Chains A and B, each alone.
Chain A
Amino acid sequence: MTAVQKRIIINKLALAFSTLSAIIALAFLFWILGVLVMKGVHALNWNIFIYEGSPPGYAESGLKHALVGQLILVGLATFIGVPLGILAGTYLSEYGKNSKLAHTIRDISDIMMSAPSIVIGAFVYAVVVMPMGHFSAWAGAIALAIIMIPVILRTTDDMLQLVPGTLREAAFALGAPKYKVIIDIVYRGAKAGILTGVLLGIARVGGETAPLLFTSFNDNFFTTDLNEAMPSLTVTMFNYAISPYDDWQQLGWAAAFILSMFILGLNIMGRLILLMGKRK
């Protein structure tokens, strides 16, 4: 065998391996997606949206408590996390720029983005749940907000930097004070980008289970009291899935399907907004 032939054979083998790994990866991914869709759609029915949790064996059991709880938790987290994230991102892009402090904050926030979310849960347990003496929706929302802030900070920072400096200078030349320039010119220019960041931030925390396990805990009944333990789709899913009852497991899959669709929708919406913003 000549050297060239050998190289050609090795080339074919390597490319075949690479194609094979793509097929293996796709197969697993479709397996998981398939399971999620089949099980989820099978378990879906109107009762899920009408009834709250009940002991296993009752036909009239649903996920209303967890759906509403999930919306409250994520809504509260958005309410806390979004303003803080946007303001912090504004500081980095408009005031801090290339200063050492700004770079340190960017770096730390980047690390926080990948930090284990269960540790955040432990932290919030120590500073919110322990002093209060009980689990609460507030604690869960704070844990989610802490996870959300770095995501929004990062995208806000990036998106504001995309606004051309000449726009700012033009506004300054007209005598506008800096805060007015930021709010009326920079924010307006980066509107689509900031909105995308917010949606991605919500999507990021929407699927979190670990930080809620010992902050908002769980509850099998409908509640809107923010000072009480609050059910969420993710923790409910977890509890139902590890339970030995078939109908609870079914509800778990329904919850998994609904939540995935919700998060997927947020992700797609975020990208669409960004695309439309670019096209203009």
Chain B
Amino acid sequence: MIDKIFLNMTRTSALLILFIVAWIFVVLFNHSTEAMQTFGLDFITKDEWAPNLDKFGAYAAIFGSVASTFLAMLLAIPIAIGVAIFLSEIAHDKIKGFFGVSVELLAAIPSVIYGMWGLFFFVPILRDLFGGMGIGLLAAGIVLAIMILPFMAAVTRDAMNTTPDILKESAYALGGTQWDVIKDVIIPYAKAGIIGSLILALGRAIGETMAVTFVMGNVHHTPNSIMDPTTSIPVTLANEFTEADSSLYFSSLFGLALTLLIMSFVVIAVAKFYFLRKVRKGQ
């Protein structure tokens, strides 16, 4: 009797996760139908976002999300791989421990603080270097890159560490230099794991709100250069959700949320199920 109750309690809780996820999709979809019916495909291809005219085209926001994430990946990937190589192949155990603690420290910092740092300390430097306002796509890309760097480096290092020592030793025995071993043994061996980790970091970057809200500018305009202020989906949501005054405006914002959810779902699913599953099975 109690056995059955307990089983049902646990099963209901477990099913609740599936239910919530499905519910999120349904709710976002329902609330965005008005915008989708009004604008159709124009919603994602036009960049005119004019609440006063009841015209909503999300292209600038989608572009901003993709571009800032791309920029962040471009900056973070080489450095993260460099750091991972340093940690798994070069550093002494003491430095490794120290670095591990630092990564832990940074993971503890809420993303809104990265945004504050970006606004007060990094944007002025960009402004001095490149002129303009300093706020914009480049600032967002750099702040995002710094934010995902520790996570990215840590998971890439973990992937590299799965390479069996015996493989590395065989390569050294053949006279390979450290770099030869890294590029011809470790990276090919850990390839799937590394790519999966990088995509996972991408999935996190694309949905990040607070780190970029400060430094992106929230201007609905497709940027001409990386110094131009622009917007992204999470930035638009954070800035405008509480200000929306018409049902079409609301519906468009829900449309943005749905677009973002689908984008990140696909990215994370590809990372987890295509790349990282292989790694788990391989072990």
Contact = CB atoms under 8 A, between A and B. Distances in A.
Interface of A: 7-8, 10-11, 14-15, 17-22, 24-26, 28-29, 31-33, 35-36, 83-85, 87-88, 90-92, 94-96, 102, 104-105, 107-112, 114-123, 125-127, 146, 149-150, 153, 177-179, 182, 203, 206-210, 213-214, 217, 234, 237-238, 241-242, 249, 252-253, 256, 259-260, 263-264, 267-268
A237 B238 CA distance: 14
Contact of A29 (B16, B18, B24, B106): B106
Given A15-B178, A18-B85, A104 B18 contact: yes
Contact of B102 (A19, A26, A122, A207): A26
B114 interface: yes
B11 A91 contact: yes
Given A94-B10, A267-B104, 7 more contacts: A19-B82, A22-B91, A91-B7, A116-B208, A119-B257, A122-B237, A238-B115
A150 B17 contact: yes
The 3 closest A-B pairs by CB, nearest first: A116-B207, A21-B82, A207-B110
Contact of B209 (A25, A83, A209): A209
Contacts of B264: 114-116, 119
Contacts of B116: 237, 241, 252-253, 256
A80 B180 CA distance: 53
Given A116-B261, A118-B237, A123-B27, A84 B16 contact: yes
Contacts of B113: 32, 36, 237, 256, 260
Contact of B31 (A24, A126, A178, A249): A126
B177 interface: yes
Given A14-B179, A88-B13, A214 B108 contact: no
Given A115-B261, A179-B6, A21 B110 contact: no
Contacts of B23: 123, 127
A118 B209 contact: yes
Nearest to A268: B104
Contacts of A105: 14-15, 17-18
18 contacts: A11-B180, A18-B83, A22-B82, A25-B83, A83-B13, A90-B10, A102-B14, A109-B17, A114-B203, A115-B264, A116-B207, A118-B260, A121-B237, A179-B7, A207-B110, A207-B112, A241-B214, A242-B119
A126 B27 contact: yes
A256 B14 CA distance: 35
B257 A21 contact: no
B13 A87 contact: yes
A234 B264 CA distance: 24
A84 B272 contact: no
B188 interface: no
Nearest to A104: B18
A182 B6 contact: yes
Interface residues of B, number: 89
Contacts of B7: 91, 95, 178-179
Contacts of A267: 104, 107-108
Nearest to A260: B109
Interface of B: 2-3, 5-7, 9-18, 20-21, 23-24, 27-28, 31, 78-83, 85-87, 89-91, 99, 102, 104-117, 119-121, 146, 149-150, 153, 177-180, 182-183, 200, 203-204, 206-210, 213-214, 234, 237-238, 241-242, 253-254, 257, 260-261, 264-265, 268-269, 272-273
B65 to A, nearest CB: 10
B14 A32 contact: no
A245 B36 CA distance: 41
B90 A18 contact: yes
Contact of B78 (A21, A32, A213): A21
Contacts of B180: 7, 11
B114 A116 contact: no
Contact of A111 (B82, B210, B272): B272
Given A104-B18, A179-B3, A114 B200 contact: yes
B109 A116 contact: no
Contacts of B18: 104-105, 108
A108 B102 CA distance: 31
A111 B79 contact: no
Contacts of B204: 114
